[in-house]
Amino acid sequence: MQRILFICSMNRWRSPTAEQIFSEHPGVETSSAGLNHGADNPLTPELLEWADLIFVMERSHKDKLGRDFKAYLLGKRVICLNVPDHYKFMDPALIKLLHAKVDRFLGRATGPSA
């Protein structure tokens, strides 16, 4: 089972959407968190230790992750998806964009066209 963590700023729209849509993928367990103070599900060292693969939505998230949680990232792969904060939870355009960017890392297509 591959454990995937999705990270955005507040864990309200982008990362919870990714967590939900990829939770259905076979062989994958998902979670999500936010980096900012007041995030709905704040990032913890335990979540980072749990994760096999980490996706961040923006370059600033990767930078902050490296700065604030560097000790917990040893041996972890962190991938920046470059998904801007322009979407609401489960926005169809966000879902399509996430599939376009994440599917290739999961070994087979999982999106609507799969």
Would you place residue 114 in the very low, low, confident or very high pLDDT band (cuts 50, 70, 90)? Answer: very low
Q: Give the model's pLDDT for residue 56.
A: 98
C-alpha gyration radius of the chain: 13
Digit-coded pLDDT (tens) for 9-35: 999 999 999 999 999 999 999 999 999
Report residue 2: phi and psi, to 5°.
Answer: -90, 130
Residues 2-34 as b/e (b if ≥16 CB within 10 A, e otherwise) read: eebbbbbbbbbbbbbbbbebbeebeebebbbbb
Digit-coded pLDDT (tens) for 3-12: 999 999 999 9
CA distance 114 to 68: 37
Determine if the pTM surpasses 0.95.
no
Residue with tokens 């964009």: 97
Long-range contacts of 82-86 (CB under 8 A, 24+ apart): 82/57, 82/58, 83/14, 83/57, 83/58, 84/57, 84/58, 85/8, 85/9, 85/13, 85/14, 85/57, 85/58
Amino acid at 58: E
Report residue 58: phi and psi, to 5°.
Answer: -135, 160
Digit-coded pLDDT (tens) for 49-103: 999 999 999 999 999 999 999 999 999 999 999 999 999 999 999 999 999 999 9
Tokens standing for residue 23: 């939770």
